[in-house]
Amino acid sequence: MNWLIASMALERDEDVVAARRRARQIAAALDFEPQDQARIATSVSEIGRNAVSYAKAGKIEFALIGETRSQTLRIAVEDQGPGIADLAAVYEGRYRSRTGTGRGIIGARRLMDEFEIETSPNGTKVVFAKRRRRDAPIVAPDALSAIAQSLPAAANAQEELRQQNLELLDSLQELTNRNEQLESLAGEMESTNRGVVALHGELEATAYELRRASELKTRFLSNMSHEFRTPLNSILALSRLLLARTDGELTSEQEKQIHFITDAAVGLTDLVNDLLDIAKVEAGKLEVKPSRFTIIDLFGALRGLLRPLKSNDEVELIFEEPSGVPILYSDEGKVTQILRNFISNALKYTATGTVRVSAAFKEPNRVLFSVQDTGIGIPKEFHDLIFEEFEQVPSVFQIKHKGTGLGLPLSRKLAELLHGTVAVDSAPGKGSTFFLDLPARWSAESDVSSFAETPRDARTRVLIADDEEAFRYVIRRMMDAQRYEILEVSDGDAALLAARAAKPDLIVLDVNMPKRDGYSVLEELSRDDETRCIPVIMATSLILSERDRKRLFHSCAILSKAALSTELVSEMLSDALRQSRAP
């Protein structure tokens, strides 16, 4: 529904003043916040002044659209002037006039939720709108009639000027208060910085020593592991020769002793292998070798590997048939190693019952493995401890099944290498369930959600979303690294996730991207209350049609990739940030 509230002619500067005052009165009657009232009045003043200055006359209409919570104040300014010669230059921020027309349009466009211009040599029509708050009461037609009748017939220019002065005084007072707060904080920061600089020096020296110690530990573990493997392999080979009676028969006591030697050598070999893997992970030398594989094949291989470990007939090892799980793209060997650790532990510490292995698909694109047993369980206070190196939970089963405490820590490190996580849910007497959460498709790029964990600093945070690595590199080099903190993504879906997670101060968004194009991303950002106020600069190498430019009205500027320069990029970023911070 479209209800006309008021309309008036624009022929003189006094009419622009009257329109501004009327806009504020209507906005106040419709329960807009004082800040939004000022934005609506400012937009009416800017567009109305253009109609009077360039077209010599025009008219303005105020209307309310909608019957539900989504009611919107719609304002239309129409004239019969010569039109706007280069609307594209105005939208892109390149148009400059002595009277500031281009800046007025850009400013009004930024202040409003919706903004559209239709122009031709026969005249121009500017339609802009502001949405009411969701919790604002619905305005019925009879209430709207009362609002229209309560508006004064004529405007008092002096009163409007006084109102503007009051707004300016309020803004100045707020700026003064903020300036005093900043001066106080600057004094505190200056004294704090001296201590921070000294502490930073100490921390840097300490960090260097810690890194050196960690490197030495990793190198020691790696060298030790390699040196141990050769004699251990010899011990195992010789034990097998003796057990095979290669050099003659053995007494029962000798065979028993050799079995003890073999078991000890196997246990020590497992320890050495785990130590070597941990050393490689910490040194960053353990590579991920992704391949395509199915859960069914993975479970089949695990069933064969673990059959020799199942020595207790009272424990049943069950692999559940997976359903709805896609083909995985990850490192099958490392996934197998993690699950093998989980299952072998479950078999060790379960006297009777079952060990159940399953997998399930999780949105948006992850797979959750679980290994559930009916064993002794783990007290809650030990849930974090078991993932630490050389730590074990004391229990009666430790006497029978001694271990090194490296299996679960290694599993956690391998899971992190695959961009996954491990977890445990357990209680004494109720069994344990170990979980492995992995992306269904491994990627060398880090997860977008990690942007949310990036600490903010004093720099302005800018998100660059473009599938061309060369463009991201060029625009990154054109931006001042001391002023801007830069985040990068390469597709539309990642751009939306990063915008919501990282809360950037500004977004540079490519028009054409995989998965979701820039038009769709911009529309989604404008509908989300958390991202609608983030200024967006659209980037493209194409020549956009007028229809395409209208689809980008929520952006604050359009950056042509064919005309990149450090000066242009710097000016666009500054203008976009200045407009977004305008009252």
Give pLDDT tens digits for 340-376. Answer: 889 988 888 888 999 999 999 887 778 999 999 998 8
Q: Which helix (DSSP H) or strand (DSSP E) does residue 174 occupy?
A: helix 157-243
pTM of the predicted model, to two decimals? Answer: 0.40
**pLDDT higher than threshold 70 for residue 455:** no
83: left (phi over 0), alpha (psi -120 to 50) or beta: left
Residue 543: per-residue pLDDT: 82
Better-scored residue on pLDDT, 74 or 502: 74
Q: What is the pLDDT of residues 535-553, one digit of tens each?
A: 999 998 888 888 888 888 8
Q: Where are the domains of the chain?
A: 2-155, 188-288, 291-439, 455-580
pLDDT digits (tens, 9 = 90+) for 290-300: 888 889 889 98
Length in residues, the chain: 583
Topology (CATH) of 188-288: Helix Hairpins (1.10.287)
Supply the CATH classification number for the domain 291-439: 3.30.565.10
Band (pLDDT 50/70/90 cuts) for residue 339 is: very high
Q: Which segment of 26-40, 72-86, 256-270, 423-437 scores lowest on mean pLDDT?
A: 256-270
E strand residue ranges, 69-224 = 72-79, 114-120, 123-131
Radius of gyration of the chain (CA): 35
Sheet order of strands, 421-426 included: 315-319, 353-362, 366-373, 432-439, 421-426
- What string of DSSP letters covers 243-275? HTTTTS---HHHHHHHHHHHHHHHHHHHHHHHH
**Could you say which DSSP state residue 33 is in?**
-
pLDDT number for residue 397: 44
As its CATH architecture, domain 455-580 has 3-Layer(aba) Sandwich (3.40)
* Equal fold, 2-155 vs 291-439: yes
Say if CB 497 and CB 449 are below 8 A apart: yes
Fold of 2-155: Heat Shock Protein 90 (3.30.565)
User: Measured between alpha carbons, how far is 379 from 373 in angstroms, rounded to an integer?
Assistant: 15
pLDDT of residue 371: 94
Of residues 56 and 170, more confidence is placed in: 56
Please state which of the ranges 240-249, 447-456, 470-479, 493-502 shows the lowest mean pLDDT. Answer: 447-456
